[in-house]
Structure 1
Amino acid sequence: MSKTIACVLTNMFEDVEYDKPAQSFKDAGHKVVTIEWEKGKQVTGKQGNTSVTTDEAIENANPDDYDALFIPGGFSPDQLRGDDQFVSFAKSFMDAKKPVFAICHGPQLLITARSLEGRHATGFKSIQVDMDYAGAKVLDQEVVVCGDQLVTSRQPDDIPAFNKEALKLLG
């Protein structure tokens, strides 16, 4: 059954951490809806290889309209976590126990949403201590699946395992 996945991102996302999972989700028949501050805005990855025209503005995004949340890494999650709209949007998925897929620096948004306490997770090496302080049980492995909700990975090399586990949760 096709699922609709909210993807929160802005400029300086990690190109491959958006491209490869999003393509994997689409290839499996799911819909990826990109959400930023503005609808129709072109955002560019930090490598300059990928540009995305956003589908929705955060002020109009309703978590109830989505089956899962995808947070690519790069500098994007750190920018988004400074806005309470994105923080509460991410928190609502965690609170509702909907699938959340965060790679590399993606868990930064979940740290700010205070949604990692007691959960097994991983992230880029430089944020693992922050995740630990946020109460996560941090594991240094290519993919960590916590229950039937949270899938996290550390870096671009982990994308194949990340995609595989995310697709399993989508069913």
Structure 2
Amino acid sequence: MSKIIAVMANSVEDIEYSFPAQALKDAGHSVTLVGAQANEKLTGKHGTEFTTDKGIDDINFDDYDALLIPGGFSPDNLRSDDRFVKLAKKFLLTDKPVFSICHGPQLLIQTGLVKGRTLTSYETVQTDLYYAGGIVKDEPVVIDRHLITSRTPDDLEAFNEAIVNELA
């Protein structure tokens, strides 16, 4: 089965990590939570505590099949760290699956690779995607090759179905 990297910083939208990660695990995939450091304690917007499995410097890109970027304020924190930007860029350039929900596409914008891609996000990020050259749709799930994006926690059921199907 597939190995997925989930990237996270503090103030993630708790359910946008936990619900997709559980759906992926239930489908037989493994999810590695990656932060700035291994064994880092992170707190979600709603108080859930998460502990990273690995630090960004501890991973080997070739060992992973897909990237999960949950939303909340986490992607805004991650995009100021060039290591996470480079990781997202590498996934996009190699056309490996990228799953991004809510504010998650903020990290993708930072790669400079959204121009011409069709995607969605939380409504306040949609304008940023547009100005970065993205083709923005206001739909629960948007699939552009192996890039799957979604808008909000309300869309998680459809998002989870799409990402599990992508790896099937």
Structure 2 length-normalised TM: 0.98
Secondary structure class of the residue paired with 1:74: coil
Alignment of 1:6-155 (within 5 A): 6-48=5-47, 50-147=48-145, 149-155=146-152
CA-to-aligned-CA distance 1:98-145 (integer Å, 9 cap, x gap):
000000000000000112111110000001010011111000010001
Q: Distance in 2 between matches of 1:31 and 1:89?
A: 18
Q: Distance in 2 between matches of 1:97 and 1:137?
A: 18
Secondary structure class of the residue paired with 1:105: coil
Task: Give unmatched runs, 5+ long, in structure 2.
Answer: none
Q: Distance in 2 between matches of 1:63 and 1:136?
A: 25
Q: Distance in 2 between matches of 1:33 and 1:15?
A: 16
Letter in 1 for 2:16: E
What is the Cα deviation at residue 41 of structure 1? Answer: 0.9
What is the Cα deviation at residue 71 of structure 1? Answer: 0.2
Structure 1 length-normalised TM: 0.96
What is the Cα deviation at residue 62 of structure 1? Answer: 2.0
Q: Distance in 2 between matches of 1:5 and 1:143?
A: 19
Secondary structure class of the residue paired with 2:6: strand
What value does the CA root-mean-square deviation take over the aligned residues? 0.7
Letter in 2 for 1:96: T
Q: Given the alignment of the two structures, is residue 156 of structure 1 paired with residue 132 of structure 2, yes or no?
A: no
Task: Give structure 1 regions of 4+ aligned residues with deviation exceeding 6 angstroms.
Answer: none
Secondary structure class of the residue paired with 1:26: helix
Fraction of identical pairs, as percent: 51
Secondary structure class of the residue paired with 2:130: helix
Letter in 2 for 1:12: S
What is the Cα deviation at residue 51 of structure 1? Answer: 1.6
Letter in 2 for 1:91: K
Secondary structure class of the residue paired with 2:67: strand
Letter in 1 for 2:91: F
Aligned residue number for residue 166 of structure 1: 163
Q: Distance in 2 between matches of 1:134 and 1:30?
A: 32
- Work out the number of aligned pairs and report it: 168
Letter in 2 for 1:37: A
Task: Give unmatched runs, 5+ long, in structure 1.
Answer: none
